Amino acid sequence: MFDKMKQLMDMKKQADRIKKELDAITVDINEVKGIEVQITGSQAFRSITIDPELLKSENKARLEKDLLRSVNAAVKKSQNTAAQKMASSMPNLPGMGF
């Protein structure tokens, strides 16, 4: 029983270390011209930069669509980065094999 508790504590320490590493990773997305999104490996947004030309009222619908596409791309790339980090750091964790 003590061995299982020790294993769980070790896994928690490893997970905490990975979380800190993911917090330090920044993913940049420039998928849509005029919109840049920065997100960490732990899915915390750092910044969203929008070209002032896109802020004109006649561009509203396009901006909304492009911003949504950019944010979704950033989250997806960040999730992939996190999954790869977890798989390499915890290769014996079930469901983490790639």
Candidates 65, 69, 21, 28; CA nearest to 42 is 21
Which CATH code for domain 23-89?
Answer: 3.30.1310.10
What's the confidence (pLDDT) of residue 95? 56
Can you tell me the distance from the alpha carbon of 38 to that of 11, in angstroms, rounded to the nearest whole number?
A: 29
- Per-domain residue ranges of the chain: 23-89
User: Which pTM value belongs to this model?
Assistant: 0.74
Residue 55 token pair: 């802020």
Q: For the chain, how many residues are written?
A: 98
Per-residue pLDDT reduced to its tens digit, 10-68: 888 988 898 899 999 999 999 889 999 999 998 999 999 999 999 999 999 999 999 99
> Is-contact 24 11, C-beta < 8 A?
no
How far are the Cα atoms of 3, 24, 36, 40 from residue 74, in angstroms, in the given order?
40, 16, 9, 9
